[in-house]
Amino acid sequence: MRDDEPVLLVPKLIDNSRVVRQADPRTDRDLWGLLVLVALVVAGIVFYAWPHLAARETGNQTNRLTQEMDRLVEENRKLRLEKASLEDLKRVERIATKRLDLETPPPEQVVVVKRSRVLPEGTRLARGAAPTGESSN
């Protein structure tokens, strides 16, 4: 053969249809070992991260509840102011005279009704300290 002569490569036809591959037991054992190792690593990561995520969620929930409490306190303050303004007798009288054109009745037509406060059965009232100069006999 000379150096300048081209080399032809012809593939050999090989028939592997009758070859029976024997399973290597080490391969299965290695695969199961790898799966167990990966499962342990994933479980470790989950158990490490879980408390941190729970703490973060608790912090977020605390913030949400604090904001809700602030909102409710502000709403309560506004409602108390509105209630105080609606209970103001001068305001009620002003509305009655100006908007509703009502007039103050003469003194002989004024009737004061005192209602007795009926307490439910079994109700106990707390007794305050007696005013000075009086005895609580």
Residue 123 belongs to a domain: no
Query: In b/e form, how buried is each residue of 4-36, taking b as 16+ CB within 10 angstroms?
Result: eeeeeeeeeeeeeeeeeeeeeeeeeeeeeeeee
Residue 82 belongs to a domain: yes
Residue 15 belongs to a domain: no
C-alpha span between 36 and 31 (Å, rounded): 9
Residue 110 belongs to a domain: no
Domain that holds residue 82: 27-104
Tens-place pLDDT, residues 15-24? 888 888 887 8
Rounded to two decimals, the pTM is 0.43
Residue 128 belongs to a domain: no
Q: Which residues of the chain have pLDDT under 50?
A: 130-131, 133-137
Residue 132 belongs to a domain: no
C-alpha span between 131 and 36 (Å, rounded): 83
Which amino acid is it at 121?
E
Residue 86 belongs to a domain: yes
Residue 100 belongs to a domain: yes
Q: Would you state the pLDDT for residue 50?
A: 94
Which run of H or of E encompasses 94? helix 89-98
On whether the CB atoms of residues 103 and 97 are closer than 8 A, the answer is yes
Q: Would you state the pLDDT for residue 133?
A: 47
Tens-place pLDDT, residues 76-92? 999 999 998 888 888 88
Q: Would you state the pLDDT for residue 90?
A: 87
- What is the distance between the terminal CA atoms of the chain, rounded to a whole angstrom? 141
On whether the CB atoms of residues 25 and 31 are closer than 8 A, the answer is no
Q: Would you state the pLDDT for residue 101?
A: 86
Count of structural domains within the chain: 1
